[in-house]
A and B are shown apart, each in its own frame.
Chain A
Amino acid sequence: MLVLIALSILHIAAIILLLVATIDNAWWVTFNPQTSTDVWGRWVLTNNKWNLTDLPSSYPADYLQAVQATTVLACIFSIIALFVFIAELFTLPKGRRFTISGVFQVLACLFIMIAASIYTDRFHINEKSIGNYGHSFILAWIAFGLTFISSIVYFVLRKK
């Protein structure tokens, strides 16, 4: 019982982190000028007001869209995995493993890993001195770890 609750909390935490990483605008922050960037747009602080602008066209457009697609897919697969887990709790016969939930969760892990890796490798290569990574980026990597752990647990755990 306790294991189930802990597992659900872990999974829901992973989903929340994935959603925040995808939606919140803080993959890359700079201080002078004060901007906050993510994969969808760039917020620039001018005259004490935040304005949403387009991402600079120097970004490689195809890699950017790949990061967008894979973060969204990671969120979708993680949410599907939660529902599949709840369904399997009721339908799985005793002694069987939660394989399908594990499969969905490991796919989510794979997608967020692809997204975070592409972003780390291809973006801001020459801007390391002007700014640093924001909290959404860090949360994306943490979500990768959490989804990995929870998928391993799903593959190992047996239904009592």
Chain B
Amino acid sequence: MLRVLALASVVLLGIAPQASQAITVYTSWERHALVGSDVRLSCSFFSWRFVSEDVSFTWRYRPDGSRDSVSIAHYAGGEAYTDNKGAFKDRVEFVGNPKRRDGSILIKNLDFSDNGTFTCDAKNPPDIVGRPSSVRLLVFETLPIQAGVITGAIIGVVLGLLVLIVVIYYLMRFLVARRVFSLSVSKHGKKKKEGSQQRQLWTPPPLTCYPLP
């Protein structure tokens, strides 16, 4: 009975993780960029297996308002392939390090027509079951102030100054108290030392011999 149980548990432990293994792909949610600038879209994945030699990354682009997506970058078999026909010709570069699970691409010289959704699909054979992840790119002429940045900055700076002032106040008090303490201790010590030195320095008065009349 025990043997059957042990065998069953070993078999289950062997099968179950493999059945629940899935590759998880991570990208940013949304990226904001200025016209004419470059933007780096990051893509990473988590897999229970080590990075295999056949690891592959595929980047697709779907313009805003369109339903079709087109491939713009592909990495497979140790080689990176980028768009050489479409809108991203000579503008996209594979800058990731697949050995470190990084499949990022760099898109140069952005234009308003690059607004859209970029999807990254990573596969780490034999771990191929997973959902691709998308990042939305928004291209602006001037970057708008994001909601809450100034608010958070003002609140953070003021509270930080408050904490700093309190810490400095208590530090000064502690240092002054310690200095006063060490001064009083050294005064006591000096008095004692001076007393003993005086005893050492005191030389008996010189003996002069007067000839006897």
Q: Using CB atoms and an 8 Å cutoff, list the residues of chain A in contact with chain B.
A: 61-62, 65-66, 68-70, 72-73, 76
Contact = CB atoms under 8 A, between A and B. Distances in A.
B10 interface: no
Interface of B: 144-145, 147-155, 158-159
A8 to B, nearest CB: 23
Contacts of B155: 69, 72-73, 76
B148 A76 contact: no
Contacts of A72: 151, 155
27 contacts: A61-B144, A61-B145, A61-B150, A62-B145, A62-B150, A65-B147, A65-B148, A65-B149, A65-B150, A65-B151, A65-B154, A66-B150, A66-B154, A68-B148, A69-B151, A69-B152, A69-B153, A69-B154, A69-B155, A70-B154, A72-B151, A72-B155, A73-B154, A73-B155, A73-B158, A73-B159, A76-B159
Q: Considering residues A66, A68, A76, which has the most beta carbons from chain B within 10 angstroms of its beta carbon?
A: A68
Contacts of A68: 148, 151
A112 to B, nearest CB: 13
A68 B152 CA distance: 9
A148 to B, nearest CB: 19
A69 B151 CA distance: 5
Contacts of B151: 65-66, 68-69, 72
B163 to A, nearest CB: 11
A72 B145 CA distance: 20
B28 to A, nearest CB: 23
The 9 lowest CB-CB distance pairs between A and B, nearest first, are A69-B154, A65-B150, A65-B151, A69-B151, A68-B151, A61-B145, A69-B155, A73-B158, A62-B150
A116 to B, nearest CB: 16
Nearest to B149: A65
Contacts of A65: 145, 147-151, 154
Q: Considering residues A65, A66, A68, A70, which has the most beta carbons from chain B within 10 angstroms of its beta carbon?
A: A65
B150 A69 contact: yes
Nearest to B153: A69
Nearest to B158: A73
Contacts of A66: 150-151, 154
A112 B159 CA distance: 16
B147 to A, nearest CB: 8
Contacts of B144: 61
Contacts of B147: 65
A68 B153 CA distance: 11
Given A61-B144, A65-B145, A66-B151, 5 more contacts: A65-B148, A65-B150, A66-B154, A73-B154, A73-B159
